[in-house]
């Protein structure tokens, strides 16, 4: 059985999303708290309400979702608002299953009488714990006989029409206003119930592996018989979290009732250890001197033997998950797996998808639907043809990601230092220029940039070309998230313009640090640090302006020299783009020849005099402007560096900048409000 299509409307945090699962392994990614787990819970809810394997499954799932109380006297009171996102609208979840030929053959082996009886039990609202004996009196009546015969006739007709591909549409509707829960077609629901109940207790067609793993340590009660069979069945869907309480019990069950001998069990462990947790092996089961069960694990390098309880929770979760996937799911079953990377290091996560597909999914014709935050899992899924990746962007937006269609986008982001995983797991990307810009923005403007992946680019370099690449991809419809590029001014306006998804913000001051130069905030921060020699507030403000205006000399010298001969002999990126070596050489030699000609007539003393005169004139033109606007025109980074040469500031520059912006935020200074406004414009 395969889950081919899933649509969820108004369930918990999801408004309206749809998924097509066409591969053996299907990975769902998205930002935190976006609703990935809700997708798996939706399948679980439909299974429990419309196709329960046992009577208590419905109640157990509703309890886990907070829809009913675990206390029996309050079970009739259902809190529909805990299930619906919009309390005024109906909740609906539709699933389309596809049966294999073998599963269809299993159904045909059941007589239409048994399917009709299952259908009648549902129509009569008889709970499964009462068994078919609960219908004895009704079936003894004329009404009962007539009704079962009618059901048999209907079933025979439906079975004749049921042909390949064997599609089973299931739809759950919860009418919040009326307080009713209903399915669309009891016939299809009955087919799934019969297939599920044909599995032995230790097997299931659908099994949910939640992320909230909790492993007991020490002695656990090991039991066999009907009580244990009931516990096994409940651990598939109804009480899925109990899987993780049953590690030792699961191992014993495999030995005693699943037809698995000790050598086969050791092979299962060997497979997990070799592929995912190398250096260990199963050393056997035994009873200790104090009568407790010991599952012995041997460390190959040292020969040390220890109980499986001593392994980390991540390692135990990995062993149990894959043991249950190999031995607990019926052939053709569906595994709903939430955050398999939990408590595992990235090196192990990188091998999860290959191991799962090659050793479990393919071997048993399974289907896995995985929700993850792991960049390693996402990366390996992208590279495999037997995996699909689905991006849950918001409560109403889900998109299947085809890497071949987005390769240019991902390559551009990779060159900018951001992986596809970073992009998919966040609200978008923010690219900043300065080495401390990320920390400044996170410290002072966290609520605005929360959820965005921030990457420091170091310098502008070839970033403009990447922006062109991304904006071209946006026109082709390949960009589905916001990417914001935040530049320092550096007295070089970029000329770049923003589009809907590719935003460009260039500060109107030299760099981001210039907004930290508010004289009151700066002085208060240094005073709080007990920096000596500050003098009065007025003296410090005057000193700050003097240090800033000293940069005017450098500014004028650079500007004046750029207009003087000789020309700069350096190579220009724009001149060599898409050109041959011969074309590049001709461009360079032309410039070098011109420089050579200008140097022949160069006179040192006259050049110095002319350069000095030009600088002095330009200095006079700019001095008044700089004295008025030095906060905007000077390099804030350089100014802070110079202050460290003058004053004994006893904390790193990185920490000082964070302190200043935090004080700006608390005081709601004019500079903080200005930066906030610019960020909001860029990110909304």
Task: Give the tens place of pLDDT for each residue, 440-493.
Answer: 998 899 889 888 888 887 666 667 777 888 888 888 887 878 999 998 888 888
- Virtual torsion, Cα 159, 161, 165, 171, nearest 10 deg: -80
Q: Say if CB 436 and CB 657 are below 8 A apart.
A: yes
Residue 508 confidence (pLDDT): 92
Distance CA 255, CA 613 (A): 95
Whose tokens are 């403009």? That residue is 464
Distance CA 167, CA 104 (A): 10
- Closest among 670, 644, 684 to 509, alpha carbons compared: 670
Residue 642 confidence (pLDDT): 93
Q: How confident is the model at residue 530 (pLDDT cuts 50, 70, 90)?
A: very high
pTM of the model: 0.65
Greater model confidence, 468 or 671: 671
Q: Say if CB 98 and CB 170 are below 8 A apart.
A: no
Task: Count the residues in the chain.
Answer: 684
- Closest among 568, 582, 437 to 515, alpha carbons compared: 437
Q: How confident is the model at residue 365 (pLDDT cuts 50, 70, 90)?
A: very high
Task: Please report whether residue 474 resides in a domain.
Answer: no
**Average pLDDT for 94-98:** 95
Q: Which of 307-316, 340-349, 411-420, 629-638 has the lowest mean pLDDT?
A: 411-420
Task: Please report whether residue 491 resides in a domain.
Answer: no
The encoded tokens of residue 309 equal 């309880």
On average, the pLDDT of the chain sits at 83
The sign of the dihedral angle between the CA atoms of 579, 585, 591, 594 is negative
Residue 636 confidence (pLDDT): 92
Asked whether residue 127 carries a pLDDT value surpassing 80, the answer given is: no
The pLDDT tens digits for 612-658 are 999 999 999 999 999 999 999 999 999 999 999 999 999 999 899 99
Task: Please report whether residue 125 resides in a domain.
Answer: no
Cα angle for residues 275, 278, 284 (degrees, 5° grid):
100
Q: How many CB atoms lie within 10 A of CB 606?
A: 9
459 Cα distance to chain centroid: 29
Burial code (b: 16+ CB inside 10 Å, e: under 16) for 84-108 equals bbeeeebbbbbbbbbbbeebbebbe
Q: How confident is the model at residue 215 (pLDDT cuts 50, 70, 90)?
A: low
The pLDDT tens digits for 496-516 are 899 999 999 999 999 999 999
Q: What are the C-alpha distances in Å from 576 to residues 29, 444, 568, 582?
A: 41, 42, 16, 10
Residue 29 confidence (pLDDT): 87
Residue 665 confidence (pLDDT): 92
Share of the chain above pLDDT 90, in %: 31
Sequence-distant (≥ 6) Cβ neighbours of residue 98 within 8 angstroms:
1, 2, 4, 165, 166, 167, 168
The pLDDT tens digits for 75-93 are 567 888 889 899 889 999 9
**Average pLDDT for 252-269:** 67
Q: How many CB atoms lie within 10 A of CB 144?
A: 16
Asked whether residue 128 carries a pLDDT value surpassing 70, the answer given is: no
The sign of the dihedral angle between the CA atoms of 438, 441, 443, 447 is negative
Residue 70 confidence (pLDDT): 76
Asked whether residue 562 carries a pLDDT value surpassing 70, the answer given is: yes
CATH code of residue 193: 3.40.50.300
Q: What are phi and psi of 398, to 5 degrees?
A: -125, 140
The encoded tokens of residue 611 equal 């350069």
What three-state secondary structure class fits 433?
coil
| 462-471: Cβ within 8 A, 24+ apart | 462/573, 463/416, 463/431, 464/494, 464/496, 466/412, 466/415, 466/416, 467/496, 467/502, 467/504, 469/408, 469/409, 469/412, 470/409, 470/412, 470/413, 470/502, 471/499, 471/502
What three-state secondary structure class fits 155?
helix
- Closest among 225, 326, 227 to 267, alpha carbons compared: 326
Task: Please report whether residue 231 resides in a domain.
Answer: no
Residue 378 confidence (pLDDT): 83
Task: Tally the domains of the chain.
Answer: 1
Q: What are phi and psi of 456, to 5 degrees?
A: -90, 125
Task: Please report whether residue 660 resides in a domain.
Answer: no
The pLDDT tens digits for 263-304 are 777 777 888 888 888 888 888 777 766 666 777 888 888 888
Tell me whether strands 305-307 and 91-99 are parallel, antiparallel or unpaired: unpaired
- Closest among 212, 229, 211, 228 to 220, alpha carbons compared: 228
Residue 594 confidence (pLDDT): 84
Residue 634 confidence (pLDDT): 93
**Average pLDDT for 157-178:** 86
Residue 261 confidence (pLDDT): 63
Residue 92 confidence (pLDDT): 95
Q: Which of 4-8, 334-338, 557-561, 652-656 has the lowest mean pLDDT?
A: 557-561
Residue 408 confidence (pLDDT): 57
Domain span at 353: 2-110+162-213+240-391
Q: How many CB atoms lie within 10 A of CB 450?
A: 10
Task: Please report whether residue 349 resides in a domain.
Answer: yes
Q: Which of 60-74, 118-132, 203-217, 452-466 has the lowest mean pLDDT?
A: 118-132
Residue 602 confidence (pLDDT): 80
**Average pLDDT for 20-47:** 91
Tell me whether strands 502-506 and 25-29 are parallel, antiparallel or unpaired: unpaired
Q: What are phi and psi of 531, to 5 degrees?
A: -75, 125
Task: Please report whether residue 252 resides in a domain.
Answer: yes
Distance CA 667, CA 675 (A): 14
Q: What are the C-alpha distances in Å from 478 to residues 379, 402, 413?
A: 19, 10, 13
Tally of CA atoms within 13 A in the half-sphere of 29 that contains its CB: 25
Share of the chain above pLDDT 70, in %: 86
Asked whether residue 160 carries a pLDDT value surpassing 90, the answer given is: no
- Closest among 561, 595, 591, 593 to 576, alpha carbons compared: 591
DSSP of 457-506 = -SS-TTHHHHHHHHHHHHHTT---SEEEEEE--TT--------SSEEEEE
Task: Please report whether residue 329 resides in a domain.
Answer: yes
Residue 221 confidence (pLDDT): 58
């Amino acid at each position: 059985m395969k889950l081919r299509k899933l649509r969820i409307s108004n369930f918990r945090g999801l408004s309206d999303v749809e998924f097509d699962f066409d591969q053996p392994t299907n990975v769902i990614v998205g930002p935190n708290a976006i609703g990935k787990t809700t997708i798996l819970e939706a399948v679980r809810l439909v299974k429990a309400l419309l196709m329960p394997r046992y009577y208590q499954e419905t109640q157990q799932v509703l309890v886990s979702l907070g829809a009913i109380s675990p206390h029996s006297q309050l079970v009739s009171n259902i809190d529909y608002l805990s299930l619906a996102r919009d309390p005024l609208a109906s909740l609906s979840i539709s699933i389309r299953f596809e049966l294999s030929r073998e599963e269809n053959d299993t159904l045909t082996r059941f007589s239409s009488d048994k399917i009709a009886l299952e259908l009648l039990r549902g129509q009569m609202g008889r709970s499964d714990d009462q068994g078919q004996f609960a219908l004895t009196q009704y079936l003894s009546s004329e009404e009962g006989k007539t009704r079962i015969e009618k059901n048999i006739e209907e079933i025979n007709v439906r079975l004749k029409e049921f042909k390949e591909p064997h599609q089973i549409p299931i739809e759950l509707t919860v009418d919040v206003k009326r307080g009713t829960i209903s399915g669309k077609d009891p016939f299809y629901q009955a087919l799934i119930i019969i297939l599920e109940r044909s599995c032995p207790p230790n097997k299931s067609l659908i099994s949910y592996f939640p992320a909230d793993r909790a492993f007991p340590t020490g002695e656990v009660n090991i039991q066999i018989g009907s009580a244990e069979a009931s516990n096994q069945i409940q651990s598939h869907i109804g009480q899925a979290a109990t899987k993780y309480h049953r590690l030792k019990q699961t191992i014993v069950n495999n030995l005693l009732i699943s037809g698995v001998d000790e050598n086969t069990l050791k092979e299962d462990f060997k497979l997990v250890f070799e592929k995912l947790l190398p250096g260990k092996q199963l050393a056997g089961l035994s009873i200790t001197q104090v009568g407790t069960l010991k599952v012995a694990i041997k460390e190959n390098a040292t020969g040390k033997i220890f109980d499986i309880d001593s392994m980390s929770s991540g390692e135990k979760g990995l062993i149990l998950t894959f043991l249950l996937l190999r031995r607990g799911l019926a052939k053709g079953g569906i595994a709903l797996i939430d955050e398999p990377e939990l408590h595992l290091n990235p090196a192990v996560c990188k091998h999860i998808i290959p191991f799962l597909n090659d050793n479990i999914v393919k071997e048993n014709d399974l289907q896995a639907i995985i929700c993850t935050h792991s960049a390693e899992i996402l990366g390996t899924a992208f590279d495999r043809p037997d995996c699909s990746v689905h991006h849950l962007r918001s409560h109403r937006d889900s998109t299947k990601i085809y890497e071949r269609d987005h390769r240019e986008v991902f390559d551009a982001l990779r060159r900018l230092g951001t992986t596809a995983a970073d992009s998919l797991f966040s609200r978008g990307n923010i690219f900043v220029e300065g080495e401390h810009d990320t920390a400044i923005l996170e410290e002072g403007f966290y609520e605005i940039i929360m959820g965005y992946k921030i990457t420091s680019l170091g310098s502008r370099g070839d970033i403009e070309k990447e922006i062109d690449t991304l904006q071209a991809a946006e026109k082709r419809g390949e960009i589905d998230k916001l990417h914001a590029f935040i530049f320092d001014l550096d007295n070089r306006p970029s000329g770049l313009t923003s589009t809907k998804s590719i935003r460009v913000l260039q500060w109107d001051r030299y760099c981001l640090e210039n907004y930290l130069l508010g004289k009151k905030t700066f002085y208060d921060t240094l005073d709080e640090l007990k920096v000596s020699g500050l003098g009065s507030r007025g003296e410090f403000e005057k000193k700050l302006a003097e240090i800033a205006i000293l940069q005017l000399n450098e500014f004028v010298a650079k500007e004046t020299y750029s207009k003087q001969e000789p020309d700069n002999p350096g190579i220009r990126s724009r001149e060599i783009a898409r050109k041959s070596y011969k074309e590049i050489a001709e461009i360079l030699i032309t410039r070098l020849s011109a420089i050579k000609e200008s140097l022949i007539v160069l006179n040192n003393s006259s050049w110095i005099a002319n350069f000095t005169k030009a600088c002095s004139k330009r200095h006079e033109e700019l001095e008044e402007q700089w004295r008025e606007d030095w906060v905007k025109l000077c390099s804030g980074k350089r100014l802070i560096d110079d202050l460290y040469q003058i004053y004994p500031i006893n904390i790193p520059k990185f920490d000082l900048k964070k302190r200043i912006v935090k004080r700006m935020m608390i005081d709601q200074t004019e500079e903080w409000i200005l930066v906030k406004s610019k960020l909001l414009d860029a990110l909304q």
